[in-house]
Amino acid sequence: LARALACRPRLLLLDELTTGLNPAESIEAIGLIRKIRDQGTTVLLIEHVLRVITGVSDRVVVLDKGEKIADGAPAEVLTSPRVIESYLGRPAAS
């Protein structure tokens, strides 16, 4: 990450940045991503940890098997029935 930032990119692509980090380190990473974004760098983040996504994202795009199934504000996208079903599965039949 430091090497990439040294080049002063306009667009920074991050893939699973918080993998292997403990909760405290993840919170620190969220703060760092926000700071990078607030200084004018566009950040495209691939992430599965919802706390990270909601902590830094202005817009979320969700893919399922390569197909875009949702796109919009985090609160809207993460409550989408299709997103919930895709990532959590269908509720068991009673």
Give per-residue pLDDT as tens, 70-88.
999 999 998 999 998 988 7
Overall pTM surpassing 0.85 (yes/no): no
Cβ burial, residue 83 (10 Å; 0-12/13-18/19+)? middle
Q: Alpha-carbon distance 38 to 57, whole Å? A: 12
Give per-residue pLDDT as tens, 17-54.
999 999 999 999 999 999 999 999 999 999 988 888 88
